[in-house]
Amino acid sequence: MGFQEPSGEGVRGIIAFIGIGSNLRDPAVQCRDAFRRIGAIPEIRLLRRSSLYRTEPVGFQDQAWFINAVAEIRTDLPPRKLFEALNEIERKMGRTAGPRWGPRVIDLDLLLYGQEVVAEEDLVIPHPELHRRRFVLEPLCELASYVIHPAFGVSVRGLLDRLTDPGFVERCAAEKIGE
């Protein structure tokens, strides 16, 4: 925790949180690459990143377990532009269309964008599954347990404490993930 990236030095703006996940092609490497790519966008400053977490799949169970993490960023980009930038990173990393909750080389989800609530056809902020998923709340709580969910008025810690998701989530030891 406390990772400082030398990108986006002059960036001002909104604090946002991005969920990162992978279960294909060495998932820990894919997640680290996603952190690097996010931090390389000029309008983004990567402030901190969570630990990597090994998590069991949700929905489609017959697949490899995931590695998940969360990035805390500061950005000058409006929500739509940030969403598009994340989609472009996914595309460049080789993500292709597949089944919902299926295997993927990378998944980048815009979890929170300040205290804004956005409800568009293809963009919903806060992420509509954030409060239901242990694999999101554990790494998010590591970074920002105090952040209030703008639609529910409950802290991330409060959401995690109330969570009924039985999904298995464990923090990866650094030596296990090659850091």
Whole-angstrom distance, CA of residue 139 vs CA of residue 81:
24
Q: Is 107 in the active site? A: yes
Amino acid letter for position 65: W
Q: Is 95 in the active site? A: yes
Phi-psi region of 129 (alpha: psi -120 to 50; beta: other; left: phi over 0): alpha
Which residue is catalytic, options 45, 54, 104, 134? 104
Distance of CA 39 to the CA centre of its chain: 13
Which residue is catalytic, options 45, 95, 133, 134? 95
Q: Is 122 in the active site? A: no
Q: Is 33 in the active site? A: no
Which residue is catalytic, options 37, 49, 107, 133? 107
Give counts: helices (H), strands (E), the chain: 5, 8
Which residue is catalytic, options 109, 157, 161, 171? 109
Alpha carbon distances (Å) from 173 to 11, 28, 53, 132, 134: 32, 12, 9, 25, 18
Q: Tell me the catalytic residues.
A: 95, 104, 107, 109
